[in-house]
Structure 1
Amino acid sequence: MENVRRPPRGTRKRDVPLTEAGIYAAALRLIDADGVEALTMRKLATALDANPMSLYHHVPNKEAVLRGVTRMVGAQFRTVTLEDAPWQERIRLLATDFRTLAHRHPELMAYSFSHQPDFIQPNDSFWTALTAIVAAAGAPRSEVSKIAAVMVSVVIGVLTAELNGSLHQWANLTPPGPDTEEDRAADADPASTDAAHEGPDQDHMFRLVMDTLITGLESRLTSVRDGRGAGL
């Protein structure tokens, strides 16, 4: 029988050629499973059954891979368009859909929020929808981007705290000052103690964030219309 020599592992030809899209998809699977820090070019090549050096024909380094994966996930963002709904309802829905995307890929999104200041681009569907809603709410054109930037910063801050566990920890801190009768009654109730141990309802807390943002913007826009506000 003829002795056939097999090529070394990692150097044999793949049945399917490498592509940037395929590399990003494989990287996202690894990130979802083990986190961004665990991703290496060698692990990515192994997942693709490819020679590690062949990856560099498509992406120069890990940072480029992460940016590509982030763009790919960002392109997945979808939201329902409610043109006739009040701007308050539209902005709640937009933020909720963005939160859903963040929780779909928590490891990647937490990294992107912290390490990629250009995570949101001017032509992203999220940004274009948000600025359109702020404009429809009656914000002066010169302030639309500023207001949208503040809202994005708050939402991303809350989502980051959700994803890394900070929100759970902070919500369970005991506020300073003497206990009230209501506090003492709650402490005596085993059900309330169990609820505190389980942590806050993050859906409820996110709604609280949106209520606060919307109320603030309503107040801001009223001040502008009444001539009591000039500039952000």
Structure 2
Amino acid sequence: MAVSARRGAPLSLDEICSTALRLIDEAGVEGLSMRKLAAELDVNPMSVYHHVASKEALLARICETVSSRLPLPPDDGTPWQDQLRALALAYHRHARQHPAMWTYLHNHPEFSEDRRLPLWQALYRILRASGVPEEELRRTSEVLHAFVSGFVFAETRGHLSGEPEEVERSFDVALHMIVNGLAAR
């Protein structure tokens, strides 16, 4: 790993992804360029290309990074209702922290719909604990994901009125409806 004369420290893929995510949070995916990223990292733009082949490859890596940072409820015997609530709240909080990246993920389903991702595996585990039959897991998970994603989409686009605390309470109401609806199945 080469050391930039300007930086004095080796460049890592994790640093590249973290910095790129911060830039995306500030200016959106459209505002990210490899030149801006390199300037922020205080390296020559070609140094970034030693770690990622293109902006698209970088965005794919950031999608993985964002997904891996989502805190998932542990399988520790906590009631499924509490685990589902914890998962939805973590997803909601994560989407609010990185709205531009969240939108990008949903506009590129190849990054978000892989059922092997930890998010989907945790949701499947919770749904199984709630009594959802194996043959209904995919449909049920898609409906729940669409419901929560729709709420987040409306929120991040400014379609929900009220102060942030009011929107948070609305999300709590939505979660209550989801949990009760699932329990009633």
Q: TM-score range by the shorter chain?
A: 0.7 to 0.9
Structure 1 unaligned segments of length 5 or more: list them. Answer: 1-10, 169-195, 222-232
The answer to which structure has the higher helix fraction is: 2
Distance (Å, rounded) in 2 between the aligned partners of 1:43 and 1:205 = 38
State whether residues 17 and 61 of structure 2, in contact with CA within 8 Å, keep that contact through their aligned partners in structure 1: yes
Alignment partner, residue 190 of structure 1: none
Which entry has the higher C-alpha Rg, 1 or 2? Answer: 1
Give the CA deviation at 1:105: 2.1
Aligned-partner residue type, residue 46 of structure 2: M
**Structure 1: which 4+ aligned runs deviate by more than 6 Å?**
none
Task: Name the structure, 1 or 2, with higher relative contact order (CA <8 Å, separation 6+).
Answer: 2
User: RMSD between aligned alpha carbons?
Assistant: 2.3
- 2:169 aligned with 1:204: yes
TM-score w.r.t. structure 1 length? Answer: 0.69
Unaligned runs of 5+ in 2: none
Instruction: Map 1:148-163 onto structure 2 (within 5 A).
Output: 148-163=141-156
Aligned to 1:142: 135
Contact 1:131 1:144 in 2 (8 A): yes
d(CA) in 1 for partners of 2:88, 2:151: 11
Q: Distance in 2 between matches of 1:85 and 1:48?
A: 43
Distance 2:122 2:164 in 1: 33
1:126 and 2:91 aligned: no
Which residue of structure 1 aligns with residue 20 of structure 2? 27
Cα distance change of structure 1 residues 94 and 39 upon mapping to structure 2, 3 Å threshold: same
Q: Deviations over 1:16-62 (max 9, x none)?
A: 23332221111012112222221111101111112212322221222
Using the size of structure 2 for normalisation, the TM-score is 0.85
Residue 14 of structure 1 contacts residue 50 of structure 1 at CA under 8 Å; is this kept in 2? yes
**How far 1:95 moved relative to its partner?**
0.5
Give the alignment partner of residue 104 of structure 2, picking from 102, 111, 116: 111
Q: Aligned pair in 2 of structure 1 residues 55, 84: CA closer, same or farther (>3 Å)? A: closer
Matched, 1:73 2:38: no
Identity %: 35
Give 1:202 shift.
1.0
Tell me if the contact between 1:110 and 1:164 (Cα under 8 Å) persists in the aligned partners: no
